[in-house]
Amino acid sequence: MDIINIYTDGACSKNPGPGAYAAILLYKDNEKIISGYKEWTTNQEMEISAVLNALKSIKNKEIAINLYSDSKYALDGMMFWMHDWAKKQWKKDIKHKQIWQEIYILYNTLKINCIWVKGHSNNLYNEQCDKIAKNLIKDNKQ
């Protein structure tokens, strides 16, 4: 079975403040970078925005996905919390509810394996995502 590896990271200056996210998608010999910037946000919102936008870019619903993140918030949300929120019909006051609802739909239509990586531990693609996100913040401050 084909596998796509996705690395994600989010960053925020002053939290809340200007923020950005980045995702690197690796499939066979191809590499795709997805990134975005938001003027006023939080680190958590950027972490899950990276996940959401990476998953939205997957066209082949049959492909296996290894999703690597250094955000326990993003991974715990995907593997545990959002399923409880959905069972309770999203009635609880949930930060970033709309993003979580979109991730939930994608999570249930894709084959995703969530993998935690330690941040700033010399993981090549995690470090690249971190650098891209931080550079987006820096570039938009000027």
pTM of the shown model: 0.96
pLDDT attached to residue 120? 82
Tally of domains within the chain: 1
- Neighbour-count burial of 45, counting CB atoms closer than 10 A to its CB (0-12 exposed, 13-18 middle, 19+ buried): buried
Which residues on neighbouring strands pair with residue 33, listed in sequence order?
24
Q: Which residues are catalytic?
A: 9-10, 47, 70, 120, 130
Higher pLDDT pick, 86 / 1: 86
Please give the mean pLDDT across all residues of the chain: 96
Domain that residue 69 falls in: 3-141
pLDDT attached to residue 122? 87
Strand order in the sheet with 64-69: 30-41, 17-27, 3-12, 64-69, 111-116
Q: What span, in angstroms and rounded, lies between the C-alpha atoms of 26 and 35?
A: 15
Q: What is the CATH number of the domain that holds 130?
A: 3.30.420.10
pLDDT in tens, 76-120: 999 999 999 999 999 989 999 999 999 999 999 999 999 999 988
DSSP-derived pairing of the beta strands 64-69 and 30-41: unpaired
